Amino acid sequence: MKRKGFTGELTGKKMTGDNWNETPTLAIAYIGDAVYELLVRTHLLQKGIGRLDQLHRTTVRYVQAKGQATLMKKLQPELDDSERAMFLRGRNTKGQHPRNIDVVTYRHATGFETLIGYLYLTDQKERLEALFDKITAYIDRNENGFPSEDTLTNEDTLQSEDTLRSENTRQDEDAL
């Protein structure tokens, strides 16, 4: 779905080579958070939500850490190696987390924001749009119950982290 005024056109600049790799992970996540919120707000306006209070409440549901962690759980099988690496980089970054959310959910949300920021900063507009289309399809299907009851549980988190660790170990062994 083509969107008018896509956010990648804000700066006209993209980070190339290793300069995005030198950027602090939480700064990439910070940009990802802003880009994702703008995409969500635009999507909701295009759906016809025009009342400011309703727009705000709906946006908050989609951009809160719990919702982002749910989306990341759904998106993980769709990610390529570089995207998975950025998610892991964001998820594994040390930092403070709010008291109102558990650390696992917050870290998965940070990984999600890092992925979005990475795609934006490296000017991968088509990939960002493709993932956002999957996100909006999922959100629209589960609109009344989003984030749904299939938000990350501790068991899911352990399973996904074990899977990612074993994939990383295999990649490290292949590199040797």
Is 84 in contact with 164 (CB distance < 8 Å)?
yes
Is 48 in contact with 138 (CB distance < 8 Å)?
no
For residue 26 the two structure tokens come to: 């939480």
For residue 46 the two structure tokens come to: 């295009």
Q: Which of 33, 53, 156, 174 is catalytic?
A: 33
Alpha-carbon distance values, 97 to 52, 85, 104 (Å): 29, 21, 10
Query: How many whole angstroms from its chain centre is CA 99?
Result: 21
Smallest Cα–Cα separation from 32: which of 45, 15, 18? 15
Residue 162 catalytic? no
Active site residues: 33
